[in-house]
């Protein structure tokens, strides 16, 4: 069984037991989340496609950790005026573990 979910503006294909890294989601480590923005659910027998979301479908996830991601470097450049600027930042990320997918 797998599902396609939309979380923080991005789409992820998940199955029970998967561990995914997503942009920052509010919550403490060990907190359970119920995600209801599910676009597609598939089990062994049938596929349910939402219009735009699947009604009565829930994906339960657990927050494993909150951390900073890889450093992203941003460079600016203007030709002919010797302007060069380099900055960087580390975005906040959340690790989630998918506990179960259910359709009511």
Whether 9 is covered by a domain: the verdict is: yes
Whether 14 is covered by a domain: the verdict is: yes
Q: Which domain holds residue 13?
A: 2-66+94-103
Whether 42 is covered by a domain: the verdict is: yes
- pLDDT band for position 104 (50/70/90)? confident
pLDDT digits (tens, 9 = 90+) for 64-73: 999 999 999 9
pTM of the full structure: 0.84
Whether 57 is covered by a domain: the verdict is: yes
Whether 12 is covered by a domain: the verdict is: yes
Domain count, the chain: 1
Give CA–CA dist 92/70, Å, rounded: 9
Whether 85 is covered by a domain: the verdict is: no
Nearest CA among 59, 47, 63 for reference residue 14: 59
| For range 16-24, the mean pLDDT | 97
pLDDT at position 19: 97
């Amino acid at each position: 069984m797998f599902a396609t979910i939309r979380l923080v503006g991005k789409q992820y294909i998940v199955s029970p037991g998967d561990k995914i890294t997503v942009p920052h989601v509010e919550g403490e480590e060990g907190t359970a989340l119920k995600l209801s923005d599910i676009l597609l659910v598939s089990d062994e027998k049938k596929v349910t496609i939402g219009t735009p979301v699947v009604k009565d479908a829930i994906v339960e996830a657990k927050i494993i950790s909150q951390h900073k991601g890889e450093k992203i470097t941003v460079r600016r450049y203007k030709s002919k005026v010797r302007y060069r600027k380099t900055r960087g930042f580390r975005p906040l990320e959340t690790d989630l573990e998918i506990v179960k997918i259910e359709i009511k």
